[in-house]
Structure formats: structure tokens, C-alpha cells
Amino acid sequence: TVVAAPGYPEAPGTGGRVALPEHEPGLIGFHPGTSHAPDGELVASGGRVVAVTGTAPDFSEAARRSREHAAKVQLEGAQYRSDIGWRERARHAGTP
């Protein structure tokens, strides 16, 4: 699940404060669209601000965990993109 900046993808807003939730086992967070403000706070610096990957015994559970954890990322105006893993979701559904 991707937490995207407001205005993504055409004109993603940058500079918004980002607060990450506490780490939970079975979840991996990446934040390629963040940087540190001069005061040390984490801020959005790109379109795809944070990506959360969930692990679980099955794909549906991993996706659910990913969505729930991504919803805990605090960024004003954030968009939540749960469609990023559509190829994998289709593969698990038996779709070519």
C-alpha cells in the first residue's frame, strides 16, 4: 500500500509533516518520498511518500495488514493507493 502526497501523481505536494506509526512485526515500511526538514522533522519530498508491505500466510491477509498500517501514517491530504500490487493480486485470484 502506498501513501501518496496530496496532488499525486500530477503535482505532488511536498513539505508536509509525516508521522510514522510504531513498527509492527510482519510489516515493512519504505519511505522513499521523505526527507528531513531543517528542524529534523520528517517531511514529504516526493509523490509516493511511504510504502507499506505486509507479510502473512496468505496474500489477502498481507494486503489487509498493509492497508491498516498505511492508514496510520499521518500526512495531511494523503492519498492511499492500494492498487499498486494489482498484478500480484490478479495472480493470486487465478487471473492471467
What number of other Cβ atoms are within 10 A of residue 72's Cβ?
13
The amino acid sitting at 27 is: L
CA distances to 12, 25, 65, 70 from 47, in Å: 5, 26, 22, 15
Reply yes or no on whether the pLDDT at 96 is more than 60: no
| Reported confidence tier of residue 95, pLDDT bands at 50, 70, 90 | low
Provide the grid cell at 69: 498500517
Q: What is the pLDDT of residue 43?
A: 98
| pLDDT, mean over the chain | 91
If you write DSSP's letter for every residue of the chain in order, what string do you get? -EEE-TTTTTS-----B-BPPPP-TTEEEE-TTEEE-TTS-EEE-SSEEEEEEE--SSHHHHHHHHHHHHTT-B-TT-EEE--TTHHHHHHHTT--
| Reported confidence tier of residue 76, pLDDT bands at 50, 70, 90 | very high
Reply yes or no on whether the pLDDT at 86 is more than 80: no
pLDDT tens sequence across 47-74: 999 999 999 998 889 989 999 999 999 9
